[in-house]
Structure 1
Amino acid sequence: MRIFDDAAERAGFVLDDEQRRAARRLAELPKSRGVYLWGPVGRGKSWLTTVLFAAVDSKHKLRLHFHEFFREFHAAYARHRHRPRAAERALDELLGRCRFLCFDEFHVHDPGDAMLVAAMLRALVDRGVVLLTTSNYPPAGLLPNPLHHHLFEPAIALIEEMLDVVELAGDRDYRAERGEPRSNFERGRYLWPGTAEQLRDAGLVPPGPAERRALTVSGRPLRAEAVRGDLVWFDFGELCDTPTSTVDYLTLADRYPEWVIAGLTGLDSPDAAQRFANVIDVLCDRDLRLTLVGDRPLPELLPACRALDFARTASRLSLL
């Protein structure tokens, strides 16, 4: 428990009661069964995980964003799917001797992933891996679509069997109470209405037609308005209102540490809004710098969005 108090003191704050309760349980890791830590955005789940992970004295530990890991697991599983114990072989390939594993942002929205997530969790149990995972949902709230929720019920039962479910409750959003930027993502900005003069004042030259490039992502072309070294510039409609995926965004994040997304005019389309939320999650989790350009103040755009997990996305956008 002392490691959390000391870390909070160095950061200039004091743990609140709910954070202390969660910290006491985390202090027992990694020598006991795992923990599924869930609660609203900005409550400190990732911060607690960061402190604990740094304090664990072991070479056999890994911390991964869940969807980034699951992308790799999906591919590894496909390579072994015709062999016995495919899930175990995939984890052997990806985790090696890992015995303490942290997953950030555990959530499931794709019914096609339900059975594979369950197989992965069972394989982790069989390997004796101590798991700490954070989420905005209680286990029963995963894959919330009522048409598909039943597909994930075996995985929910497994989570509740193998992990202690710990809620980090409270209304205070520490993420919103920021001072000076502490990360590349926080050094990003939201600009509106996005005139050429405004962009130039921000150090950005609007791209011309000759700069457009077709990027190959997941075997498909995706148009960028410009690529300038480490910077990639997209139009919102091209990036989010076409059938792109989280895997595409992760691939692009491997290539480009700075992004501009311009032309944000609304979030009324459910599919475009969900893709936008997924893009923001990837950029924030990878700590990449984003300039987002819209046609009106951001608070006027966000209420129309009905994307899943959008409370987390809105909290992250508040950092810009």
Structure 2
Amino acid sequence: MSSAIKSQYKRLIKSGDLTPDPAQSAAIDVLIKLEGKIYRSQSFWRQFLGISPRVYGLYLWGLPGRGKSMMMDLFYDQIRFPSKRRIHFHTFMAEVHGYVKQWRESDAKTRKTIFGTHKGDDPIPPIAGLIAKRSKLLCFDELQVTDIADAMMLGRLFEALFARRVIVVITSNRAPDDLYKNGLNRDLFVPFIKMIKERMKVWEVTGPKDFRLDRLKGAKVYFTPSESDAEVAAFNALWAKLTKNLTETGAHLEVNERQLEFRRAAGPLLRASFAELCAANNGAQDYLAISERFTTVFIDYVPRLSVDKRNEAKRFVTLIDALYEAGTKLVVLAEAEPADLYPKGDGAFEFERTVSRLEEMRSEAYLAKIA
């Protein structure tokens, strides 16, 4: 049986949308093998005779920019599967916590309506049952565990999903052994790591090349004025270039029990407006979470700031500090050059550091740094 994944990968190479890369090619081969296993497991006669092999999935990890999200999207788009879902891992876990709350707060009738059962005090089995009923293939992008509540839940949840024959594909910047490193009560998380290594194919996407960084090298990343059609078009074109072959899904972050929702995100890239980031009541912890989650941030429509927008200016200072310290790549569409964004007024002195950082973050030296 020919591989749709292999055919599409070859088409992307031939069209120039992808650059030939040995590390990516090796990872594609692993995805092709998974594709074959899935189709063999779906064979009517194998299932009828009870010899259908158990397929657990793939854990694809490596440094940012190696094409993991792109390859998972290619796999997801080409695989023929009756019920599948691609979702960012943090969004998935936020949904799971929502289900836990529903289970605990609902009466028997509501539980029965949502989960198909109402019995028991443990929410994990009915939640796993609901997830498995809706999707037999789950593709998780950017698995990263920093929350103790997630860490305590993951082992039992995945055990229950695997028992229901759900196939899982995961991308992560971290090797399984480095997940939740130095986290609180990490010994309770170790069984989840063991489960990944025993039941899933673990594959590192090696190679020294960061393909997104290649696309940023020599690129203009600070666009002004924001009213210029040409500057807006160039800003949009760079976003399209960096997100090519990625799925724009949006993003959900939970910070200290607060929910941050962004409509435009693709893999490790975020696009948000100045108003979303700095007019809203966000603080340092929110910006740290953004800098940890995303390697590149596009900010739309940064206005000239004045005393009446001193709070927005303070938040912008905090945001740029967080992104700069994390080595996050920044692309800005602004009303003015950095030095002219907030030249005078209360807080203008503190803003001078931000001016300096904005200038450095648009330099080739900063863009060439590995975060």
Category of TM-score, reference length = shorter chain? 0.5 to 0.7
Instruction: List runs of 5+ in structure 2 lacking aligned partners.
Output: 1-5, 39-54, 106-118, 233-254, 261-272, 294-298, 303-311, 339-353
Structure 2 counterpart of 1:137, from 174, 178, 185: 174
Question: Which residue matches 1:46?
Answer: 69
Structure 2 counterpart of 1:12, from 12, 17, 24: 17
CA contact (8 A) 1:267 1:301 kept: no
- For the residues of structure 1 that align with 2:140 and 2:370, how far apart are their CA atoms? 21
Task: Summarize the alignment of residues 147-162 of structure 1 with structure 2, pairs less than 5 Å apart.
Answer: 147-162=184-199
Offset at residue 107 of structure 1 (A):
0.7
**One-letter amino acid of the counterpart of residue 151, structure 1:** L
Cα deviations across residues 108-154 of structure 1 (Å, max 9, x unaligned)?
01223211122221121111011110000000000112654323211
Question: Which residue matches 2:139?
Answer: 102
Offset at residue 92 of structure 1 (A):
3.6
- For the residues of structure 1 that align with 2:11 and 2:80, how far apart are their CA atoms? 17
**One-letter amino acid of the counterpart of residue 232, structure 1:** A
Between Structure 1 and Structure 2, the one with more helix by share is 2
Structure 2 counterpart of 1:74, from 78, 85, 97: 97
Offset at residue 179 of structure 1 (A):
7.3
Question: Which residue matches 1:111?
Answer: 148
- For the residues of structure 1 that align with 2:301 and 2:370, how far apart are their CA atoms? 18
**One-letter amino acid of the counterpart of residue 93, structure 1:** L
Offset at residue 75 of structure 1 (A):
1.0
Task: Summarize the alignment of residues 250-265 of structure 1 with structure 2, pairs less than 5 Å apart.
Answer: 263=314, 264-265=316-317
Structure 1 counterpart of 2:32, from 13, 19, 27: 27
Offset at residue 51 of structure 1 (A):
0.9
**Cα 1:145–1:220, aligned 2, differ >3 Å: closer, same or farther?**
closer
Local SS of the residue matching 1:171: coil
- For the residues of structure 2 that align with 1:16 and 1:41, how far apart are their CA atoms? 15
Local SS of the residue matching 2:102: helix
| TM-score, structure 2 as length reference | 0.56
- For the residues of structure 2 that align with 1:145 and 1:133, how far apart are their CA atoms? 22
Q: Per chain length, whose mean CA-contact separation is higher, i.e. which structure has more relative contact order (CA < 8 Å, sep 6+)?
A: 1
Cα deviations across residues 230-272 of structure 1 (Å, max 9, x unaligned)?
983443995232678969xx9xxxxxx9685855436798xx6
**Cα 1:2–1:143, aligned 2, differ >3 Å: closer, same or farther?**
same
Cα deviations across residues 262-296 of structure 1 (Å, max 9, x unaligned)?
55436798xx669x97xx89xx9xxxx97587422
Question: If you compute each CA radius of gyration, which structure gives the higher value, 1 or 2?
Answer: 2
**One-letter amino acid of the counterpart of residue 265, structure 1:** V
**One-letter amino acid of the counterpart of residue 22, structure 1:** A
Local SS of the residue matching 1:106: coil
- For the residues of structure 2 that align with 1:295 and 1:200, how far apart are their CA atoms? 21
Local SS of the residue matching 1:109: coil
Offset at residue 58 of structure 1 (A):
2.2
* Count of paired positions: 256
- For the residues of structure 1 that align with 2:318 and 2:286, how far apart are their CA atoms? 17
Cα deviations across residues 207-228 of structure 1 (Å, max 9, x unaligned)?
xxxxxxxxxx999899xxxxxx
Q: Which moved more, 1:68-77 or 1:2-11?
A: 2-11
**Cα 1:62–1:314, aligned 2, differ >3 Å: closer, same or farther?**
farther
Local SS of the residue matching 2:169: strand
- For the residues of structure 2 that align with 1:55 and 1:126, how far apart are their CA atoms? 25
Local SS of the residue matching 1:40: coil
Give yes or no for the alignment of 1:295 onto 2:355: yes
**Cα 1:245–1:40, aligned 2, differ >3 Å: closer, same or farther?**
closer
Local SS of the residue matching 2:60: strand
Over aligned residue pairs, what C-alpha RMSD do you find? 4.5
| TM-score, structure 1 as length reference | 0.63
**One-letter amino acid of the counterpart of residue 46, structure 1:** S
Question: Which residue matches 2:80?
Answer: 57
Task: Summarize the alignment of residues 235-314 of structure 1 with structure 2, pairs less than 5 Å apart.
Answer: 235=278, 239-241=282-284, 263=314, 264-265=316-317, 294-298=354-358, 300=360
